[in-house]
Amino acid sequence: MLNLDTGTLTPLLKRMEAAGLIERRRDTVDERVVNFFITQAGKALQEKASCVPQSLFDATGMNKKELDEINETITFLLHQLNKTSEK
């Protein structure tokens, strides 16, 4: 969903765990699977940051249609770049 590779995601998750925002637990059925759970501190930060998306939207001065079009273009560009890098 974030379109991040493991080299980016793993250090990010480790920092979040060290900060007490998430905790990880091995799956009881399949130990190869690691599940992440948000902690109380993580929930508090999530609440504190809940205004960020609207603030960013307001700061653009753009309407929803314009932002949706840019998002579609960026998504298409990323898809094209990923196809190229897979060759």
Q: What CATH number is attached to the domain comprising 17? A: 1.10.10.10
Q: Give the DSSP letter of residue 31.
A: T
Q: Who contacts 13 (Cβ-Cβ below 8 Å, separation ≥6)?
A: 22, 24, 36
Task: Give pTM, 2 decimals.
Answer: 0.68
Alpha helices by DSSP H, listed for 31-63, are: 40-48, 52-60
* Domain region containing 63: 51-87
User: How far, in Å, CA of 39 to CA of 64, rounded?
Assistant: 32
Does 81 lie in the same domain as 59? yes
Q: 10 Å Cβ neighbour count for 21?
A: 19
Same domain, 74 and 34: no
Same domain? For 11 and 37 the reply is yes
Model confidence band, residue 83 (pLDDT cutoffs 50, 70, 90)? confident
Rounded CA separation 87/84 (Å): 6
* 4, 25: one domain: yes
Reported as a single tens digit per residue, the pLDDT across 20-34 is 999 999 999 999 999
